[in-house]
Amino acid sequence: MHIVFISWWWPYPASNGSKIRIYNLVRHLASRHQVTLLSFAEADEATAEQVAHLRAFCARVEVVRKPMYNPGAVKALMGYLSSWPRSLVDVYSEEMDALVRRVAAETPIDVLIASEFQTMRYLELLPDVPVILEEFEITSFHDAVRRSAGTTAALRTQMTLSKMQNAVRRLVNQGAAVTVVSETEAEYVRRAAGADAMVQVVPNGVDTTVHQPSNRIQPQAQTLIYSGAVTYSANYDAVAYFIREVWPLVRARYPEARFTVTGGTGSVDVSDLAVVPGVTFSGYLPSVAEVVQGQWAVVTPLREGGGTRLKILEAMALGTPVVSTSKGAEGLAVVAGEHLLVADDAEGLAAAISRLFEDEGLRQRLANNGRALVAREYDWNVIAGRLLELVELMGSRTVKDSTAKPASI
């Protein structure tokens, strides 16, 4: 089959969770089928070497400049009158539109996949081709509505959510399948698009061959880490909450404890957080595996956002224990006390960290159980198989004419 995969993120090098997912799924799809990758990229991405790497397994790779959302732009303001969320109106790329049309005219397409909601509009370009909206995430829109309740922003956030729900309903009614990373997301899609919507849970995964425990690295006592760029609002909220509310309780009992935050900070001001004793912001690291293995635990005190947490899966694959909020572990088939420790307030998180610091046997049990879980359920070989099944099901559908002219948008 010929699969066209539209990606909002340039997937190589795989430097964040979305890129890791896209890279691994595309690589596995390309092991069975002919894949054309049409990807957005920022100015410093898609170097000749990076494109060559992707072309080693993709039949074709094309790059389009990534548009950035500007809420004050004329297109964005006109988006208030559109049935689409205005961010999707503003970032819609005529260059990508033309590229999709050109590829369809040159080579019959069996399945068109659009990765993440920013690319969902392009699925309407080819009405006679089976389509999949991959990793649709709507939880953050529901979170925004809840956070804005009672404020002047409430109407705007509710309008955005309603438009997103209507958009996915239109696509499903036109025959689109939708993949999500958790059953929570799946339920949101069914509520928006109907109980009969074709929704497939394809969780995030981890390469358990690359990510393995190492006897060479010995964890340093009383050390904690959070891997994730604070440029993503949910990560910033988690880090700020942990440093302001949880960390003082930990340091009161363990004055030598250290907490490291990896990932870029961009234009986010973390100066007030970085000066807290025992806290280090490392900045972007090409690889965090060895740093994670050098800690006694990974903490994921997330309080908002959707999806499933690659940082937890990678920590478990590496044999590093995890302390998380329920939100942080949402969507994962984990058992509190068996695979990780879970608490949802500052005192509970500090108490869980104290348990880990004091009990070497507990650290080892969690490490062993977590590693076994991800190897069994969350290796990319297992996860990609779910998407492959859906792609092959969609590709087997009878289409009227895969070379038909694309629709106008």
Residues 17 and 67 in one domain: yes
Q: Is there a single domain that holds both residue 81 and residue 176?
A: yes
Q: Are residues 299 and 176 in the same domain?
A: no
Q: Give dist(CA 324, CA 302) in Å, integer.
A: 8
- Answer yes or no: do 151 and 228 share one domain: no
Instruction: Categorize the per-residue pLDDT at 28 as very low, low, confident or very high, splitting at 50, 70 and 90.
Output: very high
Stretch among 27-31, 152-156, 290-294, 345-349 having the lowest mean pLDDT = 152-156
Mean pLDDT within 259-263: 94
Number of domains in the chain: 2
Asked whether residue 212 is domain-assigned, the answer is no
Helix or strand (DSSP H, E) at 131? strand 131-134
Q: What is the CATH number of the domain that holds 386?
A: 3.40.50.2000
| pLDDT-based confidence at residue 99 (cuts at 50, 70, 90) | very high
Q: Residue 307 has what pLDDT? A: 58
For residue 401, being part of any structural domain is answered with: no
- Domain assignment of residue 285, yes or no: yes
Q: Binning pLDDT at 50, 70 and 90, where does residue 308 land?
A: low
Name the strands in the sheet holding 34-41, side by side, starting at the edge strand that comes first in the sequence: 60-65, 34-41, 2-7, 111-115, 131-134, 177-180, 199-201
Q: Is the peptide bond before 13 cis (omega within 30 degrees of 0)?
A: yes
Q: Is the pLDDT confidence value at 405 over 60?
A: no
Is residue 330 pLDDT above 70, yes or no?
yes
Residue 3's contacts (CB-CB under 8 Å, 6 or more residues apart) are 29, 33, 34, 35, 36, 109, 110, 111, 112, 113, 391, 395
Kindly report the three-state secondary structure assignment for every residue of 45-108.
CCCHHHHHHHHCCCCEEEEEECCCCCCCCHHHHHHHHCCCCHHHHHCCCHHHHHHHHHHHHHCC
Secondary element (H or E) of residue 379: none
Whether 154 is in a domain gets the answer yes
More confident residue, 401 or 346: 346
249 and 284 share a domain?
A: yes
User: What sign does the CA torsion over 309, 315, 316, 318 have?
Assistant: positive
Q: Is 66 within 8 Å of 41 (Cβ atoms)?
A: yes
Average pLDDT of the residues in 308-329? 92
Q: Is the pLDDT of residue 306 over 90?
A: no
Q: Classify residue 215: in a domain, yes or no.
A: no
- Across 376-399, b (16+ Cβ under 10 Å) vs e yields eebbbeebbebbbebbeebbeeeb
Give strand ranges (E) for 205-274. 223-227, 258-262
- CA distance from start to end of the chain: 26
Give me the mean pLDDT over the 347-366 stretch. 97
Q: Which domain holds residue 50?
A: 2-205+381-395
Higher pLDDT among residues 257 and 304, named by residue? 257
Task: For residue range 66-81, list pLDDT tens digits in order.
Answer: 999 999 999 999 888 9
**Other beta carbons within 10 Å of 287:** 10
DSSP-assigned beta bridge partners for residue 279: 259
Q: Domain check: are 187 and 255 in the same one?
A: no
Regarding whether 325 and 194 lie in a shared domain, the answer is no
Same-domain pairing of 113 and 159: yes
Do 80 and 105 fall into the same domain?
yes
Mean pLDDT of 147-173: 91
Residues 197 and 263 in one domain: no
Instruction: Round to whole Å and give the CA distance between 246 and 171.
Output: 43
Q: What is the pTM of this model?
A: 0.85
In a domain, 331, yes or no: yes
Query: Does 383 score more than 90 pLDDT?
Result: yes
Would you state the pLDDT for residue 403?
Answer: 39
| DSSP-derived pairing of the beta strands 322-324 and 297-300 | parallel
Q: Which amino acid is at 243?
A: I
Residue 218, in any domain of the structure: no
Q: Answer yes or no: is 400 within a domain.
A: no
The yes-or-no verdict on residue 196 having pLDDT over 60 is yes
Q: Which of 134-143, 241-250, 352-361, 387-396 is predicted least confidently?
A: 134-143
Verify that 45 and 129 share a domain, yes or no: yes
Per-residue confidence (pLDDT) for residue 287, from 0 to 100: 81
Q: Are 246 and 314 members of one domain?
A: yes
